[in-house]
Structure 1
Amino acid sequence: MTNPFSGANGAGKPLSHLEDIKAASRHLRGTIEEGLNDPVTGAISEDDTKLLKFHGSYMQDDRDIRDERRRQKLEPAYAFMIRARLPGGVVTPQQWLAFDDIARNYATRGLRITTRQTFQWHGVIKTRLKATMQAIHNAMATTIAACGDVNRQVVGSVNPHLSSQHALAWEWIKKLSDHFIPRTRAYHEIWLDGERLTDEPEVEPIYGSTYLPRKFKIGIAIPPTNDCDVFAQDLGLIAIIEDGVLRGFNVAVGGGMGATHGDTTTYARLGSLIGFVTPEQLLTVAEAVVTTQRDYGNRAERQHARLKYTIDHLGLAWFKGEVEQRTGFALPPPRPYHFDQNGDRFGWAQGENGLWHLGLYVESGRLWDQGDQQLQTGVREIAKILKGEFRMTCNQNLVIANVATKDRTRIDKLVAKYGLDGYKAQSGIRRHSIACVALPTCGLAMAESERYAPELLGKLETILDGHGVLDAPILLRISGCPNGCARPYLAEIALIGRAIGRYDLRLGANFTGERLNVLYRENVAEPEILSSLDTLFGSYARERKADEKFGDFLIRTGVLPAPTQNLIPIVLETVA
């Protein structure tokens, strides 16, 4: 088969193999069920692993013991990662307790908060996979479309200072999530023992039979906080609230973090602002953006299949025109807005309804009991008494939300008892750090990330303390590969894995998520990383201006070249 989409790069080339798999899958069924019932192996077939992603799960193996198992002539230690679809990262106490039970009964290494405001469970073996999926369903949640070539988890700002506005935005997060859930009955048939309705034709009204060319991500930010990194999304929406009323959203398209080492045709990109929509227009515009990508995205070369490449190949003006043609109305210019940070706030804050919200730091998002740290147990005990809800953040942290004044003391005691109050004494760089999972489970990882982060942070804190800037807020992100799950290209300091113990050092993004960083040192080991940062931290301590952030300092002083993409992401009028 050849690519029928004449407008896209890759037109006329053979479709990627995954397109054939999707087309033959019978709306994501494949032979997943047969593979689950095969007792000979802990794996499923390679083609079915591609389809399994649409159901919210990845097959992985423990790379720490891969070589040893090979020497013993054993198959890899296969297990599955499962990711929930939890729009906006909101979880009730009852759901939390159910998810905690799942982690203890079926998974390993506790609960992990991802950079998309949801949970991942790691280490679920094949014989327990179906029972785990059913337990998630029984907790009134799902995993469908948490992965795969579809619109995935919709994320949004967690801002307890603007509770009514956050509530309005979250309603649109939920509506967007529901609107783009696949309609296939395969999920219910395979995981929930649903009845097969073979006589009734099945239709995916938005996605079609082969779904999207690649994954698609949507996020809503509420100024002045850009904690969801709205310009990293395929479709980024900036809530415009005027006089206490949600007037609508600025629309940014084409953001994306993934790249490939050594391939200059792949790159990170900030979303481009193309206009403003009212709330009533939002679903129509979002669907037009998604279906334009469906019809014109590159289905021949998956490394060029994200929306950012579709836009860059066909032109931003063309893309906006196509969206307007599909919606039947023109998009007016974006409205003014301002971001002041993209990190999380910690400690107690009171919302306008009088309820309280407690922001907690969770290192690399990992909540588990290890040694003296009993983080998983601590949050479980809080969930038993909480009358509000939990909100996970895109920075892998946790908010205990909607707490009455009279209940704060009980929660404070549990937070202190189980060591969840570490944010009170942590450095600025630790509070603003993110690390992806990487080794030993991620098959794409080239270097350590989550397991390396505590060690690296300790060494960086020693250097920062020596220069008297330990409390300076600095965005640090570590990624085990260039695919960008930790959004490293938007960090003031980023380490991107090249090989075991070696990283690209990138510097110079800004503190609001509106500027990409640049390569500073390529393929270097820890000694050179620490030496380079020691020198730069020293200069920053001596020469920074009042309230100047580290990334801005590096550009102002000429350490890094001026950015090729402006602080304000590309607006259509500047490139038309």
Structure 2
Amino acid sequence: MSKDKLSHVETIKTQSDGLRGTLSQSLVDNHTGNVRPDDEALIKFHGMYVQDDRDRRQERAEKKLDKLYSFMIRLRIPGGVISAKQWQAIHEVSELYGTGVLKITTRQTIQLHGLLKHQLSDTIQGFLTAKLDAIAACGDVNRNVICSSHPQVSPVFEQIHNYADKISEMLLPKTQSYYEIWIDNQKIYDRSVESDPLYQDRYLPRKFKIAIAIPPTNDVDVFANDIGLIAIVENDQLIGFNIAIGGGLSTTHGNKDTYSRLATVIGFCSSESDILKLIYHVLTIQRDYGNRSDRKLARLKYTLDKMGVENFVKELEKRAAVELKAAKSYTFTERNDRYGWQQAHDNKWYYTLFVENGVVTPNQKEFLFNLSKLGLSDFKFTCNQNLILGEIALEDKWQVEKLLTQYNIGQNISNLRQSSMSCVALPTCPLALAEAQRYLPELITKIEPLLVKHKIDQEDISIRMTGCPNGCGRSYLAEIGFVGTAPEEYNLMLGADRYGTRLNQIYKSKIKEPEILQELDYLFGLYKKEALDHETFGDFSFRKFFN
């Protein structure tokens, strides 16, 4: 652990009384729509962020009014699967509280925005009745565990998918403060039940992310995570996982000590109990050695690079009492979702619905609510911000198709748009420097004619946008990536491969829309003229400009 002075957030955590802080008092303080300053850090551990409407900041400041504070709440859904009844509950809660908009995140869950402080307890209790919670969906703990979404990729999909639940349960904080503050409103006096050998009273130095990929698909962007598990399947049997550690995309503009990093594969493990031990102790090493003085350098990737991969692995094998074996071979050949109807090995049918940037439109929302009332399907969130309607029996498929037709779901959408992704950014994210979710669809509309012009519109070119360098939209792994630097200004990133195994690099810095379109027009023409046979746009860009 760093011997430098601890950051203020570290003090808040250790003095929080199991993440309680003064949240109970903050919630009944009617003088502001916000919580107290220290509670802003603690409320994240309960699955919430404080936000305000940045579109209205100036107007309210001129009137000498407080910021228009609200809260975002994110659910913990390991593997991203919920039942029809749970979807109904989410729908009904969203109709009562917040903006009414359902947002599918890049981490395979859903979040609501615009919740007022007095609505938080009712919102959480509404979710709890459907056995949904927001525990550890944010904060310096393990976040929502994600897993490949499409059952048709493997006959042992369910067996692999179950690991998401097991890992999530193992890494949950032991404090009961979530229930005490939001559910029961009764103080827990027997704190022995809260003994937490993993997180202790200081938790992790920073957030922690885990993903499970099932080759040949890398829809989870497995190497962007602190821990990546790559399922190894032979003869339709799961024989274990390759384990990768140290991934993370977040950077800070102007800070050369920060960088994006892809996870390093450190070996293979076949035993479930040993895999869980290894995962657990990657976290204990990060807990003990991670940087607690500078939060910008606190992710596992920096701990790994500081210790060195070899030393880290030695410490991991010692703590877990497990010896890693040589990594097994695997291949990724896809990263996009499989849209429309697909049939899996269990003969059940699945329909993947495109949800642009994860924002469920009013038409989609009505369709999904009516579908949920039929009880024919479960709902699977994908890491590409889409939604799979799943486990539909052949004899029930016609009812789903009838609703799809009724609501005009599944209209023609360009390949580029289907391969797009963005973070929320403005107006609610306090870190955003530029637009993303509200702007990318408009920009794609202007890029699509360029693809047609150069006769490459059938290509599945990945395009992603984030409003700041933190990378929530995983722009650093896109063939065309945009990273916000200022209002209406972006770094244009090129050279990532199509399957999430190579980072992109800055091609042009701090450019606005006219130059973006000019550069892409030039690049598409160059690609059409000079690309090798079967060469993707990302591979061409890397070879042309960075190799």
- Please confirm whether the aligned pair reaches a TM-score higher than 0.5, indicating the same fold: yes
Secondary structure of 1:367 counterpart: coil
- In the alignment, the residues of structure 2 paired with residue 205 and residue 13 of structure 1 have an alpha-carbon distance, to the nearest angstrom, of 24
Aligned to 1:309: 302
**Equivalent position to 2:70, from 64, 75, 79:** 79
Aligned to 2:514: 527
Matched, 1:501 2:488: yes
Q: Which residue does 1:561 correspond to in 2?
A: 546
Counterpart residue type for residue 456 of structure 2: V
Shift of 1:102: 1.0
C-alpha distance in 2 between matches for 1:74 and 1:197: 38
Instruction: Tell me how far apart the structure 1 counterparts of residues 401 and 142 of structure 2 sit (CA, whole Å).
Output: 38
Alignment of 1:172-211 (within 5 A): 172-193=163-184, 195-201=186-192, 202-211=194-203
**What secondary structure does 2:390 align onto?**
strand
Q: Does 1:56 align with 2:47?
A: yes
Q: Which one-letter code corresponds to 2:288 in the other structure?
A: D
How far off is 1:485 after superposition?
A: 0.5
Matched with 1:242 is 234
| 1:473-530 superposed Cα distances (whole Å, 9 cap, x missing partner) | 0010000000011111100001100111000000110111000000000111111111
User: Which of 460, 469, 481 in structure 1 is aligned with 2:456?
Assistant: 469
Q: Partner letter of residue 353 of structure 2?
A: L
CA contact 2:466–2:472 (8 Å) conserved in 1: yes
Deviations 1:426-458 (A, max 9, x none): 221111100110000000000000000111010
Moved over 6 A (4+): none
Give the letter for the 2:338 counterpart.
Answer: R
Match of 2:268 in 1: 276
Map of 1:457 onto structure 2:
444
Identity of aligned residues (%): 46
The aligned residue for residue 125 of structure 1 is 116
Task: Choose from 312, 325, 334 the match for 1:319.
Answer: 312
Which residue of the other structure, out of 288, 302, 312, is the alignment partner of 1:295?
Answer: 288
Structure 2 gap ranges (5+): none
Matched position secondary structure for 1:48? helix
- Structure 2 residue corresponding to 1:362, chosen from 330, 334, 355: 355
Amino acid at match of 1:63: R
Contact 1:160 / 1:349 at 8 angstroms: preserved in 2?
Answer: no
- Deviation, 1:280, is 3.0
1:142 positional shift: 0.7
Cα offset for 1:163? 5.2
SS in 1 for 2:485: strand
Provide the residue aligned with 2:56 in structure 1: 65
Amino acid at match of 2:257: T
Count of aligned positions? 545
Which amino acid in the other structure matches residue 39 of structure 2? Answer: D
Q: Which moved more, 1:106-115 or 1:213-222?
A: 106-115
Deviations 1:196-235 (A, max 9, x none): 2324433112111010000000000000000000000100
Q: Which amino acid aligns with 1:28?
A: L
Cα deviation, 1:332-391, whole Å, max 9, x if unaligned, reads 11101000021111011111111011111100000131xxxx111111111111423110
Question: Does the aligned pair in 2 maintain the 1:109–1:368 contact within 8 Å?
Answer: no
Q: Normalising by structure 2, what TM-score?
A: 0.98
Matches of 2:408 and 2:427, distance apart in 1: 26
Q: 1:392 aligns with which of 373, 381, 392?
A: 381
| 2:397 equivalent in structure 1 | 408
TM-score (norm 1): 0.93
Q: Deviations over 1:260-289 (max 9, x none)?
A: 001111011000000111223111010010
Whether the 8 Å CA contact 2:40–2:50 is kept in 1: the answer is yes
Unaligned runs of 5+ in 1: 6-10, 563-576
Matched, 1:427 2:424: no
The residue that corresponds to 1:156 in the other structure is 147
Contact 2:278–2:322 under 8 Å retained in 1: no
Query: Would you say 1:259 and 2:251 are equivalent positions?
Result: yes
2:10 counterpart of 1:12:
no
The amino acid across from 1:172 in the alignment is Y
Give yes or no for the alignment of 1:43 onto 2:28: no
Q: Structure 1: which amino acid aligns with 2:389?
A: I
CA contact (8 A) 2:218 2:500 kept: yes
Secondary structure of the corresponding residue to residue 55 of structure 2 = coil
Find the aligned partners of 1:555 and 1:200 in 2 and give their Cα distance: 55
Please say if residues 375 and 419 of structure 1, whose CA atoms lie closer than 8 Å, have aligned partners that are also in contact: no
Aligned-partner Cα distance in 1 for 2:356–2:172: 31
| Match in the other structure for 2:346 | 353
Residues 275-284 or 529-538, more deviating: 275-284
Aligned-partner residue type, residue 355 of structure 1: K
- CA–CA distance in 2 between the matches of 1:546 and 1:410? 43
Once residues 46 and 29 of structure 1 are traced to their aligned partners in structure 2, the CA distance between those partners, rounded to angstroms, is 13
> What is the Cα deviation at residue 548 of structure 1?
2.0
Are 1:227 and 2:219 an aligned pair? yes
Counterpart residue type for residue 13 of structure 2: K
1:194 shift after superposition: 5.3
Does the aligned pair in 2 maintain the 1:427–1:472 contact within 8 Å? no
Match of 1:64, SS state, is helix
Q: Distance in 1 between matches of 2:468 and 2:323?
A: 40
Q: SS in structure 1 opposite 2:417?
A: helix
* TM-align CA RMSD: 1.1
Aligned with residue 537 of structure 2, among 527, 544, 550: 550
The residue aligned with 1:569 is: none
Check conservation: 1:432, 1:475, Cα contact below 8 A: yes
Q: Are positions 1:33 and 2:33 aligned together?
A: no
SS at match of 2:351: strand
1:481 is the counterpart of 2:468: yes
Q: Does 1:107 align with 2:98?
A: yes
- The one-letter amino acid of 2:219's match is D
Tell me which residue corresponds to 2:157: 166
Q: Secondary structure of the equivalent of 1:123?
A: strand
- Greater mean alpha carbon deviation, residues 161-170 or residues 431-440: 161-170
For the pair 1:340 / 2:333, whether they are aligned, the reply is yes
Q: Distance in 2 between matches of 1:364 and 1:435?
A: 6
**Contact 1:87–1:177, Cα closer than 8 Å, also in 2:** yes
- Residue 50 of structure 2 aligns to a residue whose secondary structure is strand
